[in-house]
Amino acid sequence: MRAHPVITMDGPAGSGKSSTAREVARRLGYRHLDSGALYRALTFALLSSDLVEDSWPTLPREAFDRFPIRLRPAGAVFQVLLGDRELTDELRTPDVTSRVSPLSAIPAVREWLLDAQREAGKEGALVADGRDMGTVVFPDAEVKIFLTAELNERASRRFLERKGNTPSSQELEVEAGKIQERDDRDSGRSVAPLRKPDGAMEVDTSYLTFEEQVEVILNHVKSLTTR
Ligand code: CDP
């Protein structure tokens, strides 16, 4: 038994998972786990190594032991470390973003990253966001959320986040194409595909403000954890 609840937040790219999970965790005094950062860290480590990309899908799980990737609790978040180095901006470069989804479909990769994620949730008081938090990593979570938003809305948010301005219709189309490709891959893979976990509450954030979506989720958490 955990001392405190685990809240999972799964959903497609750009649905607002990470920012919402961070704020929900902050308001509850919980810690936030961005599981995508672990997949991105391994992608970054592989890209910086001598292991050629073509070989990644056939690497055994032990092959990743050479990469000292770990989570370090730091206040309301977990830092992602590679050795002594904290990884931040390196995790969101176009090189990493374009390779992280194919890498995440490899069963050995998912197995290798499982222990670190479960360890982070051992005591509870955690809000974990990703693709398989409620289905595979924390199937026994007390609260499960599935966050969605319309494709164009997600693409527009992502563009704004990266470039600081709203996209033209052509830019929006390109961004939406990239997001759709990643979603298709994440939902279509045979291991831990992105799907709404049983018992999860679905929140479509297309027409909600950030504050509204945080409130909807906090109310749901309260209704399930104060019974
Ligand atoms: O922030 P965004 O939704 O764009 O991506 P992310 O959460 O950083 O995740 C990057 C990629 O890692 C996803 O597209 C998935 O391929 C993979 N991922 C996964 O397979 N399982 C998770 N629990 C989290 C991320």
Q: What is the pTM of this model?
A: 0.95
Which residues are near ligand 1 (CB < 6 Å)? 13, 18, 35-36, 39-40, 100-101, 104, 130-133, 182, 186
What tens digit of pLDDT does each residue of 22-38 get? 999 999 999 999 999 99
Which residue's CA is the closest to the ligand 1 atom numbered 8? 36
In angstroms, what is the span from residue 69 Cα to ligand 1's centroid? 17
The mean pLDDT of 6-19, rounded to a whole number, is: 95
Residue recorded with tokens 């938003």: 149
The mean pLDDT of 77-94, rounded to a whole number, is: 96
Which residues, at least 6 apart from 55, have a Cβ–Cβ distance to it below 8 Å? none
pLDDT for 124 beyond 80? yes
Spell out the alpha helix ranges (H) of the chain.
17-28, 35-47, 94-104, 107-120, 151-163, 169-188, 210-225
Which pLDDT score, from 0 to 100, does residue 57 have? 96
pLDDT band at 140 (very low <50, low <70, confident <90, very high): very high
pLDDT for 227 beyond 80? no
Which pLDDT score, from 0 to 100, does residue 3 have? 87
pLDDT band at 1 (very low <50, low <70, confident <90, very high): confident
Torsion of CA 9, 23, 82, 65, to 10 degrees: -20
In the chain, % of residues over pLDDT 90: 96
Residue recorded with tokens 């289905």: 135
Which pLDDT score, from 0 to 100, does residue 208 have? 95
What tens digit of pLDDT does each residue of 144-198 get? 999 999 999 999 999 998 899 999 999 999 999 999 999 999 999 999 999 999 9
What tens digit of pLDDT does each residue of 39-68 get? 999 999 999 999 999 999 999 999 999 999
- Check if the beta carbon of residue 42 is closer than 8 Å to that of residue 164: no
Mutate-to-test residue for ligand 1 from 46, 100, 118, 194, highest number of ligand atoms within 8 A of CB? 100
Range with lowest mean pLDDT among 103-112, 131-140, 156-165: 156-165
162 vs 227 pLDDT, higher one: 162
Which residues, at least 6 apart from 108, have a Cβ–Cβ distance to it below 8 Å? 59, 60, 61, 63, 64
What tens digit of pLDDT does each residue of 193-218 get? 999 999 999 999 999 999 999 999 99
